[in-house]
Structure 1
Amino acid sequence: MFDVPLWLWWTFVATVVIALAIDLLAHRGAHVIGFREAAWWSAAWVGLA
């Protein structure tokens, strides 16, 4: 796979799955999202990217 080690693929997949789980679990309850919370989450995801 493009000369990328298998452990790196598994790390990438695990990171995506963990990020998805965090996103889904953190937003379970319905509530109004304020500007500060939206900015924090946006900064966190951009920082991870």
Structure 2
Amino acid sequence: MKKWWNNPQFRYWGTFIVRTLLYSAILFMLIYLYHYKNIQGGSFIYNEF
């Protein structure tokens, strides 16, 4: 494993793929949370009180 990681080309592509997956996951999480907000208001939990 250390032989692979010390290879500069593998290290470049490995970090590129890991960063791409991480940033994509963060982006999709932010998009999901934005759409979960429901822009029209929706039902609020305390409206019935």
What TM-score, normalized to structure 1? 0.51
* Deviating 4+ runs (over 6 angstroms): none
Q: CA RMSD in A?
A: 1.8
Identity %: 10
Structure 1 unaligned spans of 5+: 32-49
Bigger relative contact order, structure 1 or 2 (CA pairs below 8 A, ≥6 apart)? 2
What TM-score, normalized to structure 2? 0.51
Larger radius of gyration: 2
Count of residues in correspondence between the two structures: 31
Structure 2 unaligned spans of 5+: 37-49
